[in-house]
Amino acid sequence: MALPGESAAEAAAVLASSLESVLGSRANANRAFEILERLQAEDEEVILCAVRTCSRLFGALLERGELFVGQLPDEEASLQEGYSAEDKYKVWMRHRYNSCINCLVELMSHESFQVQELVLSTLMKFVDLEAKHPLMKAEWKGKICFPRELLKLVVASLIPVEADSSLLISQFQQYLEYDDVRFFAMKAVADNIGHVMQRMKEAPPPVYQQNVFSLISSISVPSRESEIANFLVKQAGNYEEWKVSKLKEHRLAFERMWLGFLKHKLPSSLYRKVLVILHDSILPHMNEPTLLIDFLTAAYDIGGAISLLALNGLFILIHQHNLEYPDFYKKLYSLIDPSIFHVKYRARFFSLADLFLSSSHLPAYLVAAFIKRLSRLALTAPPQALLMVIPFLCNLLRRHPACKVLVHRPSGPADLLEDPYVMDAEEPSESRALESSLWELQTLQNHYYPDVAKAAAAINQSLSLLEDDITELLDLSASELFDKELKKKTPTVPLEFEQVRGLFGQKNDIFAEHFLLE
């Protein structure tokens, strides 16, 4: 019997002997309790040992077929009713197996990762064995049985409400290779989200959402039906007919899972993460991508970086799924604010904006408003952003020759007192951008960074016909800029000729006025 003060070595000896005797003869079946008891031990070593023993014991029993198959009768009832001794043993053993699984699932929230890992692999071994030796009676011939209940338990324990379990999830990913496991896992997740949300009443804990996200973001549905052939279940049966081998079903499950997840309010960091992967790992795998419209428009309305990120998904919907988005450009126009040159997603936004504004059917006033706004904001941009946005503006001018009045207005009013462009106007059509000129770029010709000045000087000449390639410039960072400058080679280094007179001794020195050397 398990004692609180028992050492790991002793426990291991006891476990080994009881395993041997249980497997050796049915008379010793009761010793299985000794094993199960040690699952609840305090010592980590003992638990690990017990889990291993359980895995071997029930693994062997499952393979031998010594567990009851079919609807499990009540334990008490089975003893009284007229079952054969054989059946009675099997029923009893099956009950032990169930209690073992319950223990293991509890252990999934054990603080030690080692235990968690071992338990997970043990449970998945059971899933594997049950899939081979099903514990359910086939209702008809050829029906394929998958241990759905067991998997559900596993999945539920993978996404706990309290603790972060991303490590364990990454362990679980290897099982997601199997199409059937993935399929049932998706279903289980969808169910689990439903249950948890109901329980939590509108306030899902962020940790839980984080867990769910890390689990489901690693799920990807195969793109073709022929690719679904990797099953964990190895049974004689009609695989063609099985629901699991249908791509459509997979997609449906996938869609349900995501919709269930996105239905609820997300914390903004998670929002961003979802939006970042949305366009290439979620949208293409859905049966009905349009179902995400609500989510995306809501995200687009939030503003700031989230709006920028939502653009991408929205673009796919508009482009490929005939989504009508009223005032899309107006919205886009209002998205452009000074922070756009400083945020992380700058490259993404500009590549999309490039795409949106590439249509030659856009009205000139709209493009002009965009150009004017971007150039106005360029007055606050750092050099690395300027190097990208100036060619971008030049490209726009090239694409929309009607906007060229912005840089070339030979017969305009000579001396304006104000820039006609109205920066604050919400509507691009009211901004009067076409009456203005790009004085901002002219200003930038005096930028301190020589490359920027050079790029801005391009508007002095009539633009060449070919567009500049800005894809390389999109990701330019300040440190890259710095390194590039340092790498340039020069034959001679010009020197200051003014005689030096101490640190602050130059003429016109601002420092001498405000700082003291002390």
Partner 1 sequence: KDFLFKKERENINRTQTLLKEYKERDKSNVFKDKRFGEYDTKISPEEKMMKRFAMERQQNYGKKSIYNLNEDEELTHYGQSLADIEKLNDIVDSDSDDTEEKGILSAELTAAHFGGGGGLLRRKAPMGQQDEEEEKPKSRKELIEELITKSKQEKRERQMQRENAMELTEKLDSEWKDIQALLAHKTPKNLEPERPLIPDEYDKMVRELGFEMKAQPSDRMKTEEEFAKEEQERLQKLEADRLRRMHGIDEQEKKKPKHMSADDLADGFILDKDDRCLLSYKAKRVEENQEEDGENGGNEREEESEPGSEDAEEATAEEIDAIDSHSDLESDTGSDEEASENEEEKKKHKRNKKKLQEEVEQNAKIEAARSELPYTFAAPESYEKLKSLLSGRTMEQQLVVLERIQKCNHPSLEVGNKAKLEKLFGFLLEYIGELATVEPPEVKTIDKLVLPLYHLCQMFPDAASNSVKLVFQDAAHDMEEMIEVKGRAAFPVLDMLIYLKITKILFPASDYWHPVVTPALVYMSQLLTKCPIATLQDVVKGLFVCCLFLDYVSLSQRFAPELINFLLGILHIATPKKGVLGYTLVHPFRPLGKNSEQLLVQDKEDMETWQKQNLPLHIMTRLTETLCFDLIKRCAALYGLLPSFHEIMQPIRGVLTEHLPVSRYPKHLQELHQNVMKELENKEKHYYPLVCEKKKPVPLKLYTPKIVKVLEFGRKQGANKEEQERQRLIHKHKREFKGAVREIRKDNQFLARMQLSETMDRDADRKRRVKQLFNSLATQEGEWKAMKRKKFKR
415-474 residues near partner 1, rule: CB under 8 A: 415-419, 437-440, 442-444, 446-450, 453, 459-462
Which residues, numbered 241-270, are part of the site for partner 1 (CB under 8 A)?
none
**Is 181 or 441 the residue whose CB approaches partner 1 more closely?**
441
Buried b / exposed e across 465-484, counting CB within 10 Å, b at 16+? eebbebeebbebeeeebeee
Task: Please name the residue that has the structure tokens 């362990």.
Answer: 171
Smallest gap from Cβ 398 to partner 1, in A, equals 13
User: Exactly one of 409, 426, 430, 475 binds partner 1 (CB under 8 A); which one?
Assistant: 409
Which residues, numbered 376-405, are part of the site for partner 1 (CB under 8 A)?
376, 378-383
**Is 118 or 452 the residue whose CB approaches partner 1 more closely?**
452
**Contacts with partner 1, 310-339, as mask; x by CB under 8 A:** ---------------------------xxx
Which of the stretches 112-120, 263-271, 465-473, 485-493 binds partner 1 when contact is defined by CB under 8 A?
Answer: 485-493
User: Exactly one of 10, 301, 412, 426 binds partner 1 (CB under 8 A); which one?
Assistant: 412
Smallest gap from Cβ 349 to partner 1, in A, equals 15
Which residues contact residue 240 at a Cβ distance below 8 angstroms, ignoring those fewer than 6 apart?
A: none
Which residues contact residue 512 at a Cβ distance below 8 angstroms, ignoring those fewer than 6 apart?
A: 504, 505
Smallest gap from Cβ 444 to partner 1, in A, equals 7
Smallest gap from Cβ 240 to partner 1, in A, equals 52
Which residues, numbered 193-232, are part of the site for partner 1 (CB under 8 A)?
none
Instruction: Give how far Cα 71 sits from Cα of 90, 94, 139, Å.
Output: 12, 11, 11
The maximal CA–CA distance of the chain, rounded, in angstroms, is: 113
Task: Please name the residue that has the structure tokens 């009761």.
Answer: 30
**Is 129 or 394 the residue whose CB approaches partner 1 more closely?**
394
**Is 317 or 390 the residue whose CB approaches partner 1 more closely?**
390
3-state secondary structure of 484: helix
- Give the total of residues touching partner 1 (CB under 8 A): 78
**Is 105 or 343 the residue whose CB approaches partner 1 more closely?**
343
Smallest gap from Cβ 457 to partner 1, in A, equals 10
Query: Between 328-335 and 364-377, two packed helices, what is the crossing angle to 10 degrees?
Result: 10
At residue 359, what is the residue type? S
Tell me the three-class secondary structure of 91-121, residue by residue.
HHHHHHHHHHHHHHHHHCCCCCHHHHHHHHH
Smallest gap from Cβ 517 to partner 1, in A, equals 4
**Is 156 or 347 the residue whose CB approaches partner 1 more closely?**
347
**Is 50 or 378 the residue whose CB approaches partner 1 more closely?**
378
Question: From the CB of residue 51, how many other CB atoms can be counted at a distance below 10 Å?
Answer: 24
Which of the stretches 18-26, 77-85, 110-118, 500-508 binds partner 1 when contact is defined by CB under 8 A?
Answer: 500-508
The torsion angle over the Cα atoms of residues 396, 402, 404 and 405, rounded to 10 degrees, is -140
In eight-state DSSP terms, residue 143 is: P
In eight-state DSSP terms, residue 423 is: T
Q: Which of 34, 43, 30 is nearest to 16 (CA)?
A: 34
